[in-house]
């Protein structure tokens, strides 16, 4: 089995877990008033926060265990998983404090129970654990967002950064897609969502031969953003799946010395 086929095998297994979990998630009807949501949006605050996940905490812990075990079965792709993540009960590793920190974009620990842990790996495990919960909540709360009031580079639902975007069919407006919860929000065409760069001399984009995919490069923060031009596609497209179908575009961006915007840190 080739490296790429191993990756798709892993991803199919991960998606099955997340789909099963999503079917089991219980969400209370939001008690947020339109006025409260409007105030949060105006101040740049996200609608979803850690407290919204609390009712499903036992399920989150079980999911973390299943996700971690899955990663451990693909060491050829991700390297060895620290033993502390496999032998300890999930609730002793994925604490509520850590989960809140992840949601708020704070620095994750480099040690757990005295054992070294790669923060990037921990970030990935938490991301894939919380993803079905964030998606389910986003689907419930999305209608509360008034797009004209949100022109920021992070998700109005959960604060995640976009990992892919698209140009809509009608007028070619740019819409960003959250890497965490799949929420979509409209954004300015000529602005970098990662650093806010609007200098046309510090921005480049490449188009593939079929003019369907674009790769936007920002020379200020050295990040890239993949974009699907729906004006060039006649068939229906499932945009979240485009993350996988455009892995070669990721490779092109990284070979040019850029990194995906959702992995951006200020030490670049």
Distances in Å between the alpha carbon of 79 and those of 76, 86, 97? 6, 14, 26
- 140 and 163 in a single domain? The answer is no
Structurally, the chain folds into a number of domains equal to 2
Band of residue 1 on the pLDDT scale cut at 50, 70, 90: very low
pLDDT of residue 55: 86
pLDDT of residue 264: 62
Which of 144, 165, 186 is a domain's end point?
144
- 110 and 174 in a single domain? The answer is no
CB 125 within 8 A of CB 67: yes
**Coil, strand or helix: which one is 123?**
helix
- 94 and 171 in a single domain? The answer is no
CB 194 within 8 A of CB 218: yes
With a cut of 60, say whether residue 266 has pLDDT above it: no
CB 240 within 8 A of CB 177: yes
- 119 and 175 in a single domain? The answer is no
In degrees rounded to 5, what are phi and psi of residue 234?
Answer: -90, -30
CB 264 within 8 A of CB 221: yes
pLDDT mean across residues, the chain: 90
Band of residue 27 on the pLDDT scale cut at 50, 70, 90: confident
Q: Measuring CA to CA, which residue among 6, 50, 23, 17 is closest to residue 129?
A: 17
Pairing of β 184-187 and β 174-178: antiparallel
CA 253 to mean position of chain CA atoms: 18
- 10 and 136 in a single domain? The answer is yes
pLDDT of residue 157: 93
Tokens read off for 78: 């991700």
Cα gap 118→81, rounded to integer Å: 10
- 99 and 21 in a single domain? The answer is yes
Q: Choose between 26 and 248: higher pLDDT.
A: 248
- 138 and 151 in a single domain? The answer is no
- 155 and 259 in a single domain? The answer is yes
> Tell me, what CATH number does 251's domain have?
3.90.1670.10
Tens of pLDDT along 163-217? 999 999 988 999 999 999 999 999 998 899 999 999 999 999 999 998 999 999 9
- 128 and 185 in a single domain? The answer is no
With a cut of 60, say whether residue 268 has pLDDT above it: no
Q: Is residue 268 part of a domain?
A: no
Tens of pLDDT along 219-243? 999 999 999 999 999 888 888 889 9
| Average pLDDT of the residues in 64-72 | 96
Q: Is residue 161 part of a domain?
A: yes
Q: Is the dihedral of CA 111, 127, 49, 262 positive or negative?
A: positive
- 124 and 157 in a single domain? The answer is no
With a cut of 80, say whether residue 3 has pLDDT above it: no
Tens of pLDDT along 74-120? 999 888 999 889 888 988 899 999 999 999 989 898 888 788 889 98
Which of 116, 144, 172 is a domain's end point?
144
Tokens read off for 238: 């499932």
Domain range for 198:
147-263
218 DSSP β-pair partners: 203, 223
Tens of pLDDT along 115-165? 888 998 999 999 999 999 999 999 888 888 888 889 899 999 999 999 999
pLDDT of residue 267: 37
């Amino acid at each position: 089995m080739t490296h790429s086929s191993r990756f798709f095998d892993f991803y199919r297994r991960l998606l099955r877990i997340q789909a099963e979990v999503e079917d089991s998630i219980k969400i209370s009807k939001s008690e947020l008033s339109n006025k409260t949501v409007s105030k949060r949006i105006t101040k740049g605050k996200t609608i979803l926060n850690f407290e919204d996940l609390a009712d499903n905490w036992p399920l989150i812990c079980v999911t973390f265990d299943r996700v971690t075990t899955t990663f451990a079965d693909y060491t050829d792709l991700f390297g060895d998983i620290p033993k502390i993540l496999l032998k300890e009960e999930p609730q002793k590793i994925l604490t509520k404090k850590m989960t809140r920190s992840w949601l708020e974009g704070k620095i994750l620990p480099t040690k757990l129970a005295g054992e070294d842990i790669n923060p990037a790996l921990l970030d990935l495990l938490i991301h894939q654990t919380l993803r079905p919960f964030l998606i389910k909540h986003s689907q419930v709360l999305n209608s509360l967002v008034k797009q004209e009031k949100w022109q920021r580079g992070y998700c109005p639902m959960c604060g995640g950064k976009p990992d892919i975007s698209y140009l809509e069919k009608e007028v070619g407006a740019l819409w960003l897609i959250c890497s965490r919860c799949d929420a979509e929000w409209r954004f300015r065409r000529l602005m970098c969502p990662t650093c806010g760069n609007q200098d046309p001399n510090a921005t480049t984009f490449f188009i593939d031969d079929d003019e369907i995919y674009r790769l936007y490069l920002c020379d200020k923060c050295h990040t890239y953003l993949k974009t699907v031009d729906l004006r060039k596609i006649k068939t229906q497209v499932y945009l979240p799946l485009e993350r996988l179908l455009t892995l070669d575009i990721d490779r092109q961006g990284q070979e040019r010395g850029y990194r995906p915007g959702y992995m951006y840190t200020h030490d670049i």
